[in-house]
């Protein structure tokens, strides 16, 4: 299972990378806005700065919602670095653009996936990743994890090469359940990745070992 960190903050990305378990980064316009970057040239520079921290897989999202606009922006983003994966929304023009970009060899991540039907369309168009938003489904009393399970079954049925990138992850159990279901990737806030470290028995055990060592040295 790959781990991506879902943030545009360089310090968080560097910290996630420092653990040695990071496979990529996902961003979206809201996460970029949180960092406070203004103006297109600065946004592109910021993506480059992210690419310089991680080894691969930096999802950068288009703003355009028409086919021509998506293609133009996708080329601009893909030219930043070979690590860029162009994030395209699940809309008809987005699916058309994913087909074109896939044929051109540009990797894409189809975002805002909330149903199996949407994911099938994106996979058939050649998306490298589909991003089902499990937390936002849970928010509206719909089982986000059930969508992940359905996608694993469907993609296996047809040997789709598209990877299932579970997004909108809110807590460690989302990650564990995604791993059990067979999601290819989980993209998570840094705080959720760090929550995976925690277990009170680890803390208690380590305190005991250190205390015993100290006592043995007196």
Residues that bind ligand G3P (CB under 6 A): 6, 26, 28, 31, 133, 135-136, 167-168, 187
CB of 92 to ligand G3P, least distance (A): 21
Nearer to ligand G3P, 114 or 155 (CB): 114
CB of 134 to ligand G3P, least distance (A): 9
CB atoms under 10 Å from CB of 171, counted, come to 15
Rounded Cα gap, residues 60 and 67, in angstroms:
17
The torsion angles phi and psi of 87, rounded to 5 degrees, stand at -95, 125
CB of 169 to ligand G3P, least distance (A): 7
Nearer to ligand G3P, 72 or 171 (CB): 171
Rounded Cα gap, residues 188 and 2, in angstroms:
11
Residue 87 is among the residues annotated as catalytic for this protein: yes
CB of 89 to ligand G3P, least distance (A): 12
Is-contact 155 162, C-beta < 8 A?
Answer: yes
Nearer to ligand G3P, 1 or 210 (CB): 1
Nearer to ligand G3P, 30 or 157 (CB): 30
Question: Measured in whole angstroms, how far is the alpha carbon of residue 122 from the centre of its chain?
Answer: 16
Of the candidates 15, 38, 83, 87, the residue annotated as catalytic is 87
Start-end of H helices in the chain: 10-18, 29-35, 40-53, 67-78, 92-103, 116-124, 134-139, 144-157, 172-181, 190-195, 200-216
Per the DSSP assignment, residues forming a β-bridge with 187 are 4
Residues labelled catalytic: 87
């Amino acid at each position: 299972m790959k781990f991506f960190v879902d943030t545009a903050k360089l310090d968080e990305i560097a910290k996630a990378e420092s653990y040695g378990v990071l496979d990529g980064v996902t961003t979206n316009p809201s996460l970029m806005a949180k960092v406070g970057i203004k103006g297109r040239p600065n946004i592109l520079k910021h993506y480059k700065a992210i690419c310089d921290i991680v080894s691969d897989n930096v999802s950068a999202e288009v703003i355009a919602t028409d086919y021509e606009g998506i293609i133009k922006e996708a080329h601009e983003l893909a030219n930043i670095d070979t690590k860029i994966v162009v994030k395209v929304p699940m809309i008809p023009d987005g699916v058309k653009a994913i087909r074109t970009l896939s044929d051109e060899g540009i990797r894409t991540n189809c975002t805002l996936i909330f149903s199996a039907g949407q994911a099938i369309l994106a996979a058939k168009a050649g998306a490298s990743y589909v991003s089902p938003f499990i937390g936002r489904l849970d928010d509206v009393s719909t089982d986000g994890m059930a969508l992940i399970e359905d996608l694993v079954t469907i993609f296996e049925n047809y040997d789709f090469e598209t990877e299932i990138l579970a997004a909108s992850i809110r807590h460690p159990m989302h990650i564990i359940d995604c791993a059990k279901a067979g999601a290819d990737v989980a993209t998570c806030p840094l705080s959720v990745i760090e929550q995976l470290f925690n277990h009170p028995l680890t803390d208690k055990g380590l305190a005991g070992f250190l205390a015993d060592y100290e006592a043995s040295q007196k």
